[in-house]
A and B are shown apart, each in its own frame.
Chain A
Amino acid sequence: MPTHSGAHGQKGESALMIHGKRPQLSPVAHLGEATLRFVGDTGAMFLFLLEASARIFSSLGQFHKTVRQIYFIGVKSISVITLIGLFTGMVIGLQMHYALAKFGAEGFLGAAVALSLVRELGPVLTAIMITGRAGSSMTAEIGVMRITDQVDALRVMDINPIGYLVSPKLAASIICFPILTAFFDMVGMAGGYLTGVLLLGGNQGIYFYRIQAYMKMSDVSGGFIKSLVFAVVVCTVTCFMGYYTHTRRDAVGPEAVSQATTAGVVSSCILILLSDYILTSLLF
């Protein structure tokens, strides 16, 4: 995570360091500094999210920007989601058929494929795919704007950069993630049908009947809630990393953008899996 340069640091001459000199820290002090940094960054990320959320409806212009982001995050992700969803469903169909056949329960293939997709794999894989495709680009876009003074230019024009850059992305993510997840689930079930019914000779009627019989509304709503949470997590983390590119200690300039992009994608993926576990424990 990036570290803030402490622009709001202590005031007064006594608190100032001599230009260019950094104090030597012991290992314990390093650990303490890293902990403080983590807590500070986590808090900053929440404030970032709050500000972005508060500015979603700040003006009519936000609507047009949000539509553009829906096109970028949602429409342009459909092909990759279709491909990944289809193959995921096909693989689950194969594997589940193999496992269920051992118990003579091939007839439950439809339910097994649908439940795995709707409760778990659909929201998680969709979120990870969008992180790779759109999240990385969000970090890079905002990061480049930061290092080329475009964010400062917005500020001096009295345009809130978070409202201008992040809020439309957040709104678009909240709209697109559940829709893309539903699309992924649907294509995945079709993939399971391809392998389980058409390839391995399962019964078509039973495949769909079991899906209908065993799928509850809570399964669908649970997956829907997960995708909403992932939308907020992915958008917040990737945009936050881009927005604070200039405060990174490990690199400056274009290298900082690339580091921020990597950090944004990795942190998002970790947080998707972490929050997935928590949500699964709470929801089901």
Chain B
Amino acid sequence: MLQGTTPDIRLEGLTVGYGKTAVVSGIDVTLPGGKISVILGGSGCGKSTLLKHILMLQPALAGRIMIGSHDLAGLDRRGMHCLRQRMGVLFQDGALLGSLSLGDNVALPLREHTRLDEAAIRQRVLAKLALVGLEEFHDYYPNELSGGMRKRAGLARAMVMDPPLLFCDEPTSGLDPVNAAELDLLLLELKGSFEMTLVVVSHDLDSMRTIADHVVVLGEGKVLYNGPLAELEATTDEYLRRFLDRQAAARTSPRLTMPALDFKAMKRDCSKYLDQGERS
């Protein structure tokens, strides 16, 4: 399944959400194979929820998800195993297992799914750690690493089975601009070096502008844009423009219309209290 290919991911009439609650509905999108697709949107717009559905962590409320020619809903247990072993996922905080060292974390999929001996596993693990610049930290535990290092280690683990599909959930969130830029370059290098389809969920516009070939923008419970980056940059749509130009929405916030606190009176009361204290 998906051997030697960089499959498209097609979302057809998809509705995603939690329980009976729909978060985003009517998703008809194709994420092109061999490219980096960025799913963009504000906080809480359903980006990570959509990713969880694509990763088969939650069943779709309606519609279907096709990876290559495979409908995820129609996969049997064996098909699911085959597909999952060809997917790599970088979670928001790396999601490394705290009880295992970095090397053991990266080696975990190899130990569980392959018959490689320990020497071969170690060689492969070190190669993947070198790819993300962490080969010296093989024996460190996740709590001994910085946030950026944990993300890179998560990326090494996601890459260890050489998957044709790589998913990244908010790879640059919580990172300083330098680390974020380095991670973006790493993703571009991966796309250039290995044949793979990358899907990146993000709200980081700089990152999106650096890595994206294809962009899907979510908002207001639906897909607001689906297409190449260049067309998105030229859009005249008001909501998208505001999002891209990082302009705050005009609003009449209740807190702005509330009466201001009477600081003078508070100060007066405090002075009176302090004076009394000094006299007594």
Contact = CB atoms under 8 A, between A and B. Distances in A.
Interface of A: 5-13, 15-17, 19-20, 59, 61, 144-145, 148-150, 152-159
A153 B158 CA distance: 10
13 contacts: A11-B61, A13-B15, A16-B17, A16-B62, A17-B21, A144-B98, A145-B97, A148-B93, A156-B87, A157-B84, A157-B112, A158-B112, A159-B109
A16 B61 contact: yes
Contacts of A153: 89, 91, 95-97
B93 A19 contact: no
B199 to A, nearest CB: 13
Q: Is the interface of B mostly helix, strand, loop or mixed?
A: mixed
A236 B109 CA distance: 26
B59 A16 contact: no
Interface in B6-37: 15, 17-23, 25
Nearest to B89: A156
B113 to A, nearest CB: 7
Given A17-B21, A156-B89, 15 more contacts: A6-B19, A7-B18, A9-B19, A10-B20, A13-B22, A13-B25, A13-B62, A17-B19, A19-B17, A19-B23, A19-B221, A148-B93, A152-B52, A158-B84, A159-B108
Contacts of B55: 152, 156
Contacts of A6: 19-20
Contacts of A145: 97-98
Nearest to A156: B89
Contacts of A152: 52, 55, 57, 91, 95
Interface string B50-69: 00100101111110000000
Nearest to A15: B20
Nearest to B112: A159
Contacts of B17: 16, 19
Range for the number of chain B residues in contact with chain A? 35 or more
Instruction: Give the 8 A-B residue pairs with the shortest CB-CB distance, closest first.
Output: A158-B84, A6-B19, A153-B95, A149-B95, A16-B22, A149-B91, A156-B89, A5-B19
Interface string B210-222: 0000000000010
B65 to A, nearest CB: 14
A9 B61 CA distance: 8
Main secondary structure of the interface of A (DSSP, over half): loop
A17 B221 CA distance: 13
A95 B63 CA distance: 70
Nearest to A141: B99
A19 B62 CA distance: 15
A19 B25 CA distance: 11
A73 B239 CA distance: 56
Interface of B: 15, 17-23, 25, 52, 55, 57-62, 80-81, 84-85, 87, 89, 91-93, 95-98, 108-109, 111-113, 157, 221
Contacts of B93: 148-149
B22 A19 contact: yes
Contacts of B61: 9, 11-12, 16
A47 B17 CA distance: 25
Contacts of A17: 19-22
Nearest to B221: A19
Nearest to B84: A158
Nearest to A164: B112
Nearest to A6: B19
Contact of B20 (A9, A59, A144, A155): A9
Contacts of A8: 59
Contacts of A156: 55, 57, 84, 87, 89
Contacts of B113: 158
A9 B59 CA distance: 9
A145 B81 CA distance: 22
Nearest to A163: B112
B175 to A, nearest CB: 17
A149 B113 CA distance: 21
Given A156-B87, A157-B84, A158-B85, A150 B97 contact: yes
Contacts of A59: 112
A171 B58 CA distance: 29
